[in-house]
Structure 1
Amino acid sequence: MALKVELKPHERIIVGNSVITNTDQRARLLIDGENVPILRERDILTPETADSPAKLVYLAVQLMYISPDPQTQHGTYFNLVRDIVTAVPSSWPIIEGINNNIMSGDLYRALKEARKLIAYEDKLRDQYKATHPNGDVSSAA
């Protein structure tokens, strides 16, 4: 089944191992292929923007998703999730969902689950800020 993508002016998208940058006008693409990783710019994290534990997990899953050999990222990923579950045991159900998708080879779904981990981390951070208005948030999640 083909994927229809509409790109804003100058928006980028990753298709396979290529970055495609749109020109100065909106564009519609029809992408047809099997098991080709596709990421829109808004879904891409870089090492510079992965500034929290959950975002680092997302980045590791993203690298698995776009890599021809996803297993090269497994060590990094599992070290990161071990640290998160140790610090925040309540994150386990989300981590388990990510793990199940990674192990079954559905890395796109694992990426979607990793987004939930970022949202959960944000929620915990917001709760911490609400109860500790003058506290340091860097250790909250």
Structure 2
Amino acid sequence: MSLKIDLRSGEKVYVGNSILTVASDERSTIIIDGTLPVIRENDFIHQEQATTPLLSLMHAVQMHYLVPEQYSVSSIFHVYLSTTWENSVSISSAMKLVSQGELYKAIRVLKDVLKIEAR
């Protein structure tokens, strides 16, 4: 199954351990065939942005999703176990998905929690 992404000029997409940047002055459409993990720049949490436990957890899950050989599941659970969570049902659901290897689904659950906390 192909993934079609429309990107603005200068926008980045994280594909595995690589970063794809749109170099044209116009919008671009890319189509990705295969199973490489993909995260758009506006959804990606950088290490320096991970200033709360939830953002740290999101960053750890994203990094394991993108580069599993460099970031372990144990680092995700270390972040998870080091904090008492307010939104524990959603966080527990995300961690269950991590343990099942459903990292992209876990990222989506954590993204929803981030939206709730932002309100």
Taking structure 2 as the reference length, the TM-score comes to: 0.87
**2:113 aligns with one of 117, 126, 131:** 117
How large is the RMSD of aligned CA atoms in angstroms?
A: 1.7
Counterpart in the other structure of 1:128: none
Equivalent position amino acid for 2:96 in 1: N
Q: More strand per residue: 1 or 2?
A: 2
Identity over aligned pairs, percent: 30
CA offset at residue 122 of structure 1?
A: 3.1
Runs of 5+ in structure 1 lacking a partner?
Answer: 124-141
Give deviations 1:42-61, integer Å, cap 9, x for gaps: 01111111121110000000
| CA distance, structure 2, for counterparts of residue 115 and residue 52 of structure 1 | 14
State the Cα distance separating 1:73 from its structure 2 match: 2.9
**Equivalent position amino acid for 1:80 in 2:** V
The number of residues matched between the two structures is 118
Q: Residues 71-114 of structure 1: CA distance to partner in whole angstroms, max 9, x if unpaired?
A: x4323221222233x2x3x4221122111211111111111111
Would you say 1:25 and 2:26 are equivalent positions? yes
Amino acid at match of 1:2: S
Q: Partners of 1:82 and 1:119 in 2: how far apart?
A: 22
Q: TM-score, normalised by structure 1?
A: 0.75
Structure 1 CA distance, aligned partners of 2:77 and 2:31?
35
Find the counterpart in structure 2 of residue 82 from structure 1.
81
Partner of 2:13: 13
Higher helix fraction: Structure 1 or Structure 2?
1
Q: Which runs of 5+ in 2 are unaligned?
A: none
Q: Helix, strand or coil: the match of 1:48?
A: helix
Does structure 2 retain, via aligned residues, the 8 Å contact 1:61–1:114? no
